Structure 1
Amino acid sequence: MRRTLAGALTDLKSLPHRLADPARRAEPWAFVHNVGDGDFVAVGRQLVRHLTDHAGLKPSDRVLDIGCGNGRVAEPLADLLGIGGGGYLGFDISRAGIAACRRRFRGRAHMGFEHLDVWNGEYNMGGKLAEAEVVFPAADASIDLAFATSVFTHMRMPAMRRYLAEGARVLKPGGRFAFTAFALSPGREASEVFAFEPFDATSKVIDPRYPERAIGHWRPAIEAAVAEAGLTLRTSLAGLWAPPADYDGGQDLFVAVKA
């Protein structure tokens, strides 16, 4: 209910822009599936730019969008991959988000979407599948680039380790896994917006009552989880959530490679 109300507020704020710009009138409504603030189109394009600049996204890639939400990254990827002969598979724990994506991209054969009813304390408290039991809907060694944007910021460390392991399973040799996180380190453990509090040995949270609302993980724990999955960390960039920042993304960006 809290996320639905927050989404409705986001929709109200977006109304003037939707009315002024006909191109924005078809954007998904956040009260149906609230995946965060920001201009749907602008944020999607920014994330694709990050994937291109830092994770080597190519139009010929077969990509896996982990937590695709209502399709804000799928939107700019659809044309890019369609031109280059690539393919897209997105999955999410929101049934409404997946339904919206299937309607939006109906008839585009290279765009696929799957719903996984996975439990999450922030987005899907009624989910029937435990995070530790998740199997990504992709075959072994079938993906060039997997990415999870603003996913691990809502997952505890054991769940993150499972998702990294599944990412490694589905990646082709040399494939890349890009993900964002709040990477905590001494002197960079909180900010004015994200006042993280102690939670467990690997993580801090905004609200201990609802840990999945926003979770920051200690950098050594993130690096250990990447290595445990059999991936090699290639890139690490500090985001704008806490200064100093290395790029214009809000969260810290990591890119790992499968040998």
Structure 2
Amino acid sequence: MSQVLALSEHQYPPKMPVDETRLEWLCQQVIANRFLPVPPEEEVFVGDGDYRTIGAEFLGHFVRRAGLSPTDDVLDIGCGIGRIAVPLTQFLDPAQAIYRGLDPVRSGIEWCKRSITPAYPNFRFEALDIHNDLYNPEGAISGRSMRLPFQDGTFDFTAMISVATHLPPQEIETYCSEVFRVLRPGGRLFMTAFIIRDTDDPAKPGCDARLTSFEKAEGQPSWHLRGENPMAAVGFDEAFIEDVLNHTGLELATRSFGAWRGDGGDHYQDILVAQKPRRSA
């Protein structure tokens, strides 16, 4: 059954400076804590790198780049097998914050329900049978008609990690529009993507070799890997992503380009943080 959470008039405190010492300590604890759940390797269907290390990295990005607070209510779209959820169990206040994770891959959701929710009851997970040519080709719900199973203004923070990188352009606006709806005023969307700028050449030396076959789809603002499933990796023209955010009412707050293009950096995919405008006085 779809979960509906009560609409709340959440009050946002002023953004506080990041306590770097405590945040770095917490991220290291996430990496070192052998009691935190980790899925068997054969069950991990998405994401490169060490499970705990990548999760801790994103916890740091959420706090530093998007002002995530321990009292924020969090929606994780494309939560996969809990790579983002696990570190958040150590950060979010269990008495004040909720986490909800959604994904079309039922096996990942079932692992999260078994391994995370019993110890952290404010963390809940739900499978949505959304069609995706790569991850859920038999899905019954079209991505263009997808509706998030929550009331308007439920969350303070929404993560879409490696989601836009597997969606066609016509579905990106649907997702962003739904995120706008379920965010409270002042709430943030943290999204990763492969953004192709006018000056970018994915085939240049230094770019991730797995992405050097990116080619532009004819008549579309999207890029796909030659000879692969079109949803295996999707890039988007920079102007397209900005237009989508603006059209859905979200305001782009920060943008940081990733190391996949060979230019260095402390994150792999490109990061965009957008905000739902606060109500006017």
Scaled by the length of structure 2, the TM-score of the pair is: 0.80
Match status 1:239 vs 2:258: yes
- Gapped runs of 5+ residues in structure 2? 1-31
Structure 1 residues 99 and 243, CA, compared in 2 at 3 Å: closer, same or farther? same
- Gapped runs of 5+ residues in structure 1? 1-20
| 2:145 aligned residue | 133
Match status 1:249 vs 2:249: no
Number of equivalenced pairs: 238
Once the 2 structures are TM-superposed, how far is the Cα of residue 78 of structure 1 from its aligned partner? 1.1
Matched residues in 1 for 2:56 and 2:104: separation? 23
Q: Which aligned segments of 4 or more residues in structure 1 are displaced greater than 4 angstroms?
A: none
RMSD value over aligned CA atoms?
1.8
Once the 2 structures are TM-superposed, how far is the Cα of residue 198 of structure 1 from its aligned partner? 1.9
Query: Pick from 71, 78, 85: which aligns with 1:60?
Result: 71
Task: Within 5 Å, give how 1:91-240 maps onto structure 2.
Answer: 91-107=102-118, 108-190=120-202, 191-193=207-209, 194-195=211-212, 196-200=214-218, 201-240=220-259
Once the 2 structures are TM-superposed, how far is the Cα of residue 252 of structure 1 from its aligned partner? 0.3
Structure 1 residues 78 and 208, CA, compared in 2 at 3 Å: closer, same or farther? same
Q: Deviations over 1:224-254 (max 9, x none)?
A: 0001111000100000001334x41100000
Matched residues in 1 for 2:35 and 2:256: separation? 31
Partner of 1:181, secondary structure, is strand
Contact 2:166 2:232 in 1 (8 A): yes
Matched residues in 2 for 1:137 and 1:206: separation? 32
Matched residues in 1 for 2:44 and 2:138: separation? 15
Matched residues in 1 for 2:195 and 2:36: separation? 36
Q: Deviations over 1:117-166 (max 9, x none)?
A: 11111111111111011111221011000010111011111111110000
Once the 2 structures are TM-superposed, how far is the Cα of residue 207 of structure 1 from its aligned partner? 3.4
Partner of 2:231, secondary structure, is helix
Aligned-partner residue type, residue 224 of structure 1: D
Aligned-partner residue type, residue 102 of structure 2: F
Matched residues in 1 for 2:95 and 2:259: separation? 32
Partner of 2:90, secondary structure, is helix
Percent identical residues: 34
Once the 2 structures are TM-superposed, how far is the Cα of residue 26 of structure 1 from its aligned partner? 4.9
Matched residues in 2 for 1:91 and 1:232: separation? 24
| 1:79 aligned residue | 90
| 1:44 aligned residue | 55
Matched residues in 2 for 1:85 and 1:22: separation? 24
Contact 1:59 1:84 in 2 (8 A): no
Contact 1:27 1:40 in 2 (8 A): yes
Once the 2 structures are TM-superposed, how far is the Cα of residue 205 of structure 1 from its aligned partner? 0.7
Q: Deviations over 1:196-239 (max 9, x none)?
A: 11214201111355110001000000000001111000100000
